[in-house]
């Protein structure tokens, strides 16, 4: 069912976005998707991202399957959190989350999920970002810039590579 949902979302939102390459220096707003096993891991990743990208507006969406009872939502260091409770019957994001993602109007979307999660793939497909960057997966058609990373523990390397290429490629408007 998730593959079907991904194709429906991609078909619906692909025509609504203004697809174009944006150089990192010209970008004003960056939407970043991260996935982790715990809230602590997401907060650490969020902190690392905000240390590397200091001069842009950054909006981070985090996804964890299960929030442990010990974890406190007051400690979230990013803008939006999605858990398994926030998914519908088929484990897809709900319409409100899809609409939130589309409404962000970011210049760049960076999906740092290395597991090819259907939740983050659907949200990536629904995004109105001008350019979408992510890791190579079987759903390559949702990204405009794809980086091939072999290890699942290399979020920092993926982010560095995406930022390198966005800074290197020059576009004349």
This prediction has a pTM of 0.88
d(CA 162, CA 134): 8
Cα Dmax for the chain:
51
Residue 139 neighbours by CB under 8 Å, 6+ apart? 6, 116, 121
Q: What are phi and psi of 99, to 5 degrees?
A: -65, -40
Encoded tokens for 5: 């949902």
Assess contact for 129 and 109: CB atoms under 8 A.
Answer: yes
**What is the set of domains in the chain, with CATH numbers?**
2-168 (3.40.50)
Residue 173 neighbours by CB under 8 Å, 6+ apart? none
pLDDT at 11 over 80: no
For residue range 129-159, what is the model confidence (pLDDT) as tens digits?
A: 999 999 887 766 888 888 887 766 677 888 8
């Amino acid at each position: 069912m998730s593959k079907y949902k991904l194709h429906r979302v991609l078909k619906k939102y692909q025509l609504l976005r203004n697809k174009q390459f944006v150089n990192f220096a010209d970008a004003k707003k960056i939407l970043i998707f991260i996935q982790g096993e715990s809230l602590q891991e997401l907060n650490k990743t969020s902190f690392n991202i905000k240390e590397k990208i200091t001069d842009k507006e950054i909006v981070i969406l985090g996804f964890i399957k299960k929030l442990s009872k010990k974890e406190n939502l007051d400690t979230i260091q990013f803008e939006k959190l999605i858990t398994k409770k926030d998914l519908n019957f088929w484990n897809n994001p709900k319409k409100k989350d899809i609409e939130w993602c589309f409404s962000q109007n970011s210049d760049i979307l960076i999906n740092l999920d290395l597991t090819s999660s259907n939740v983050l793939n659907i949200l990536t497909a629904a995004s109105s970002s001008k350019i979408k960057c992510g890791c190579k997966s079987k759903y390559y058609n949702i990204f405009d810039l794809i980086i091939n990373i072999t290890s699942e523990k290399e979020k920092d390397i993926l982010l560095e590579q995406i930022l390198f290429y966005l800074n290197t490629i020059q576009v004349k408007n």
